[in-house]
Amino acid sequence: METLIYDYIVVGSGIAGLTAARVLSDYGRTCVLTKSILKEGATHYAQGGIAVAMQPDDSPQFHLNDTLLAGDGLCNEYAVRILVEEGPKWVRELIELGAQFDKVGDHFHFTQEAAHHKRRILHAGDATGREIEKTLGNTILREDKVQFFPQTSLTQLLINEGHCVGCIAQHKGKPVRFIGKAVVLSTGGCGQIFSHNTNPPVATGDGIALAYQAGCAVQDMEFTQFHPTTLYLGDPHPASLFLISEAVRGEGAILRNCHGDRFMTDYHAEAELAPRDVVARAIFDQMNKTQTPHVYLDLEKVKQNPTERFPTIYKRCKEANIDITRDFIPVAPAAHYFMGGIQTDTWGLTTIPALYAIGEVACLGLHGANRLASNSLLDGLVFGHRAARHASEHQTHLAVPPRPLLASFEQGLADSERARVLASKQSIRELMWAHVGILRHQEGLLCAQKGLKELEWLTHSHSENETLLEVKNMWQVATLMTEFALTRTESRGSHLRSDFPIRDDLYWKRHLSKTKESTDGL
Ligand code: SIN
């Protein structure tokens, strides 16, 4: 097997990974491995914006208060303070690097999103992630200090005497051993384990599954955020599940049920701008009550011209014959963001020395039980910087481990086995949506657990086939998520149990975590 030696290995190319790679490249030879092409990650599709307290009437303390409130009692306040206090500095740097955020005259335009009590969302139209990724990507390419490996899937983390010393990845179908002083995982989330999700196809939970297999602790695996509004065009329809940004409601859009009635005022004092979990749940409730697979978003009260303010959404809806300047948009919730993940400290360090995790793959309790809208880009930026700083200062030793045993590298999968793997993938996605989705209860969770157990055969195969490896990762994450969701017998944030509908601070104001060998609270 080919071996490549770098100082720092970053896996994933969203905002967190690109930020870390750029900083690390000042300290040593740095590479970025990315499963698809450079831009194919959740950052690219982030519409709403980046939350940052930069307005004169705002402050990090206000931003902290909103984040804690949305997190429903489970945020790590120390981590939130770091986020809101360090965020403005790194956003200013992004602007200096050339990121073009919307302005009104000479001033930046800050949009409104749910559960923010100030207008603090800096945005580039409705394609903010794309602008940030372009800025960081162009800067890194111009500086020419980072080597990129596209089409490169992580398959194993290399741990030697308790330390992470590198990883194995399949680069264009061949295994390559990457050795480095530190590995930084920024592989994103796992929305693809749900049949209804807003995530790109690469979001299959690989980083979480492989870190867990390597011995890392995972935390808060029961908390998946469901975005209230994705385009609904019938199941299955290729344009369904396209995100209709929360900023649309922030700018005045109203939710209506199939009878045309506004309903959010019945659920929360802040109506359409209630925290995301509340809105998703209210929509779900209305869909059940009216036996309709969607509700509607009405943009009549949006003051700005929707074609100018939301050009991407306008275009995608137009392609589906919906004119957002006139028509209601049919919308339904879908899995969107994962608050759980690989347990880290506030430097991104996991429970395995020299292994870091940042962005959506990581869990430091920052988002608690429900992430505040548009805090995720800021998370990637701030903790990308911190992980890079820590790794550059503390990971100074390169240990080349003995060659791994790889007796045979079998990429192929017989047609019949491939069909079985793909059918299993579909089963995982359907089980998770049906039983570990917006509304959970013991009976359904046990049903998901039983269904997943029947698919355990996936883990017995030793083929290195990429499709199989990906589905194994999905199975691993789905299994952990179901176990955590069964354990938390209360409702909090995005975790709603119809059999335990009350938030129970006395017993459950705590995080659950687990390694392969031990559990904490499970
Ligand atoms: C959105 O634009 O609604 C998504 C923003 C986010 O998930 O934070």
Which CATH number does the domain 415-504 belong to among 3.30.300.30, 1.20.58.100, 3.30.980.10, 1.10.800.10? 1.20.58.100
Q: What is the pLDDT of residue 61?
A: 98
Q: Residue 45 C-alpha to ligand 1 middle, in angstroms?
A: 9
What are 54-103's pLDDT values in tens digits?
999 999 999 999 999 999 999 999 999 999 999 999 999 999 999 999 99
Strand partners, 174: 171
DSSP string, 191-212: GGGSSSB-S-TT-S-HHHHHHH
Fold of 2-222+339-394: FAD/NAD(P)-binding domain (3.50.50)
Whether the ω angle into residue 236 lies within 30 degrees of 0, i.e. cis, is yes
Q: How far apart are the C-alpha atoms of 62 and 236, rounded to whole Å?
A: 42
Whether residue 380 contacts residue 132, with contact meaning beta carbons closer than 8 Å, is answered with no
Task: For 433-451, give one letter per residue: b (16+ CB within 10 A) or e.
Answer: bebbbbbbbeebbebbbeb
Q: Is the CB of 131 under 6 A from ligand 1?
A: no
What are 364-412's pLDDT values in tens digits?
999 999 999 999 999 999 999 999 999 999 998 888 776 665 556 666 7
Q: Is the CB of 463 under 6 A from ligand 1?
A: no
Pocket test of ligand 1: the residue of 113, 229, 255, 339 to mutate, having most ligand atoms within 8 Å of its CB, is: 113
Active site residue 276: yes
Reported as type and span, the H/E element at residue 157 is strand 152-160
Q: Do the strands 8-11 and 103-104 form a parallel or antiparallel pair, or are they unpaired?
A: unpaired
For residue 336, the ligand 1 atom closest to its alpha carbon is 7
Q: How far apart are the C-alpha atoms of 172 and 191, rounded to whole Å?
A: 24
Q: Is the CB of 50 under 6 A from ligand 1?
A: no
Pocket test of ligand 1: the residue of 44, 47, 372 to mutate, having most ligand atoms within 8 Å of its CB, is: 47
Fold of 232-333: Flavocytochrome C3; Chain A, domain 1 (3.90.700)
Residue in the structure block whose two tokens are 């129970």: 504
Q: Is the CB of 360 under 6 A from ligand 1?
A: no
pTM (2 decimals)?
0.95
Backbone φ and ψ of 85, nearest 5°: -85, -40
Contacts of 348 (CB under 8 A, 6+ apart): 20, 184, 356, 357, 358, 362, 364, 383, 384, 386, 387, 390
Q: What is the pLDDT of residue 236?
A: 66
Q: What is the pLDDT of residue 404?
A: 62
What are 113-160's pLDDT values in tens digits?
999 999 999 999 999 999 999 999 999 999 999 999 999 999 999 999
Residue in the structure block whose two tokens are 């045979």: 408
Q: Is the CB of 7 under 6 A from ligand 1?
A: no
Residue with the nearest Cα to atom 8 of ligand 1? 374
- Residue of 25, 40, 31, 27 whose CA lies nearest to 11: 31
Domain locations along the chain: 2-222+339-394, 232-333, 415-504
Backbone φ and ψ of 249, nearest 5°: -70, -35
Which residue is catalytic, options 22, 177, 276, 371? Answer: 276
Q: Is the CB of 427 under 6 A from ligand 1?
A: no
Q: What is the mean pLDDT of each run of 10 residues along the chain (522 residues)?
A: 95 96 97 86 83 97 97 98 98 97 95 94 93 94 94 95 94 92 97 95 96 97 97 80 92 96 97 94 96 96 92 94 96 97 98 98 98 97 98 90 62 82 97 97 98 95 88 98 98 97 98 89 70
Q: What is the pLDDT of residue 38?
A: 74
Q: Is the CB of 476 under 6 A from ligand 1?
A: no
